[in-house]
Structure 1
Amino acid sequence: MPMTEENAAWFEQTFAKLTDNIGQALLGKTDVIRLALVTMLAEGHLLLEDAPGTGKTALARAMAATVQGTNSRIQFTPDLLPSDITGVTMYDQGTSTWEFHKGPVFASIVLADEINRASPKTQSALLEVMEESRITVDGVRHDVGRPFMVVATQNPVEQAGTYKLPEAQLDRFLMKASVGYPNRDAAREILSGSARPDRTQDLSPVISAEAVTQMIDLVRDNHVDPGVIDYVHSLTEATRTDPETSLGVSTRGAIALVRAVRVFAAAQGRNYVTPDDVKALIVPVWCHRLVLSAEAEFSGTTSESVIARIVATVPAPQLRGADA
């Protein structure tokens, strides 16, 4: 059933309430908060890469506090085992049965802190659950429920003892974002409240997990014009044929962009998607999916600059009844 204008207006109001609540803990970072919420409502996962102490963990905690669901935190270390994430099956002598003990991945919002510090074997334990929202232990499948979102953080400095995420796992993150340092006004307020640095403790839930699931189901039917679909496809092909890329955006990446722009449009009170929505989200959705050629990397080219050039080159469609 297509999203109505009334549905879109309610979605916009609820999205704004979520943004404002999280913004109480992460001051001056409305843009990254909105990206995180778009990721959650598109049933995706978020990768935060930034310098230490910028608020990556605070963002994940604030999201968990805002949604009246369960949340967990996994501190990734080199000795972390896959079973420490998924859970284990143990024998109960009292009942003479095998029982599954759930791991921390069974939560509405899972914070995977410093994911690049764990071994590739442990990192891969997240692959199935991130893609299918379920895990398999001893041949038995276990659903993690809805909503479900992984917020993973990684530190771009102090690379000793870390393991770079492979392209296959990076592709499973809907978006990659950076929190960045606060502006002057936000920094002053943060320093003034330094006696209680963890502002997430003061947050109260503003929405239930069931309501989040309703928002997810509702936004799936937000209208995407065939012209916008063709536009996304043209952009996708352009990344694959660009001379500075050795690997372009996958089909999964193209689907991720369409899912994200549906939410982004609804968050602005619209029951239709425009090409400008695509342009607004293409960098956070695609920047971690491109693999540049060795020559491009050596010359200092970035994924962001390649995407910007492609957006400037591929013509956007003009849609009737929408601002394009």
Structure 2
Amino acid sequence: MALDDFYRNCAEIIRRVETVIDGKREAVQMALTALLAEGHVLIEDVPGVGKTMLARALAKSVDCTVNRIQFTPDLLPSDITGVSIYNQVEREFEFKPGPIFANIVIGDEINRASPKTQSALLESMEEGQVTVDGTTSILASPFTVIATQNPVEMEGTYPLPEAQRDRFMMRISMGYPDEAAELAMLRRRESSSPLDDLEPVVSTVQLIAMIETVRGVFVSWAVEQYAVSIAQATRRDEDLRLGASPRATLQLVRAAKARAALDGREFVLPDDIDALAIPVLSHRLIPTNRVSGRGNPFDPGAVSEIIARIVGATPVPLGAVGPA
């Protein structure tokens, strides 16, 4: 897909989603960035700020298969992946696919499911497949999980394990709307929900072409070295007990390629890495007890400050970053 067509499609998707989500351009762009970079998104914020609405609006703007899973403590792994049922006519077991078999899967309140159920997502989110009763089934392509969770309510929730958090490309926060956006929301939703009028902007075929465009964005050796230097620094920092994984480095570069394409560029700049370092890395890092004990342990601000410090101290490449 030509970069001009890619840019127009992205702008239209953002415009349509913003008819549902008022005043949250950055959150919408981040969610779209992850979708185009073939990553998964964790939307974490307090109740009622539009986490699920953002996920539904983004999913509805693309003409592809969408399934929603409401995570609860009694949800079983088979409720997500599917189950083998004995067919008495054929006298053999027949696999009934679960809701994970869709292009976009919306996982609402993912931290309400038990760790056993959460682990059912590990294989699908990393390898794009599901194994049930020894039989492996390939998931649809493209495949993206958009999950939501409440960071402040503890009763009836299970914290996501490190392996699960590491599979999300980025964590984004909605935040409260400003006064103008909240007033606009009241006017728009007096009689109906704007989500009902949202029509798909691109088809599945077009989305795949847009993803291929992102894959073709150029990343110079200097920018790759910059991303690796940041990841390496998180593993050595005295304020962090767990640094960024190699998967985090890979996803940071992939997200940077999508951001560059969204800006109409065919190459990645160090600024792309800087802008995405916190949303891509913050949920993967674990601070030391000394840092996490300074305030609310659910406040990601401390980790964000550490990442900002590391990015600021990492030398920016001075060589050519565009294609030769």
TM-score bracket relative to the smaller structure: over 0.9
Match of 2:128 in 1: 133
1:302 match: secondary structure: helix
Match of 1:164 in 2: 159
Q: CA deviation at 1:96?
A: 2.3
- The reply on whether 1:255 has 2:218 as its aligned counterpart is no
Quick one: which amino acid aligns to residue 299 of structure 1?
A: R
Note the 1:101-120 alignment, pairs <5 A: 101-120=96-115
1:9·1:270 contact (CA, 8 Å) conserved in 2? no
Note the 1:10-25 alignment, pairs <5 A: 10-25=5-20
Q: CA deviation at 1:157?
A: 2.3
Aligned residues: 317
Match of 2:59 in 1: 64
- The reply on whether 1:74 has 2:74 as its aligned counterpart is no
Match of 1:224 in 2: 219
2:268·2:321 contact (CA, 8 Å) conserved in 1? no
1:51 match: secondary structure: coil
2:222·2:321 contact (CA, 8 Å) conserved in 1? no
1:58·1:198 contact (CA, 8 Å) conserved in 2? no
Quick one: which amino acid aligns to residue 215 of structure 1?
A: M
Deviation per residue, 1:270-315 (Å, 9 max, x gap) = 0000000111111100010111011111134711000010111111
Identity %: 48
Q: CA deviation at 1:212?
A: 0.7
Quick one: which amino acid aligns to residue 173 of structure 2?
A: S
Where does structure 2 lack aligned partners over 5 or more consecutive residues? 296-300
**CA distance, structure 2, for counterparts of residue 272 and residue 193 of structure 1:** 39
Match of 1:313 in 2: 313
Alignment equivalent of 2:41, drawn from 37, 41, 46: 46
Q: What TM-score do the two structures reach when normalised by structure 1?
A: 0.95
Q: CA deviation at 1:320?
A: 3.4
**CA distance, structure 1, for counterparts of residue 20 and residue 138 of structure 2:** 31
Quick one: which amino acid aligns to residue 256 of structure 1?
A: Q
Deviation per residue, 1:133-152 (Å, 9 max, x gap) = 11011111111111111011
Match of 2:298 in 1: none
**CA distance, structure 2, for counterparts of residue 24 and residue 191 of structure 1:** 13
Q: CA deviation at 1:250?
A: 0.6
Where does structure 1 lack aligned partners over 5 or more consecutive residues? 1-5
**CA distance, structure 2, for counterparts of residue 235 and residue 156 of structure 1:** 26
Match of 1:96 in 2: 91
- The reply on whether 1:142 has 2:137 as its aligned counterpart is yes
Q: CA RMSD in A?
A: 1.4
Alignment equivalent of 2:289, drawn from 291, 294, 316: 294
Match of 1:204 in 2: 199
Match of 1:3 in 2: none
- The reply on whether 1:123 has 2:123 as its aligned counterpart is no
Deviation per residue, 1:54-78 (Å, 9 max, x gap) = 1011011111110001111111111
Q: What TM-score do the two structures reach when normalised by structure 2?
A: 0.95
Alignment equivalent of 1:283, drawn from 278, 285, 310: 278
Q: CA deviation at 1:186?
A: 1.3
**CA distance, structure 2, for counterparts of residue 216 and residue 64 of structure 1:** 15
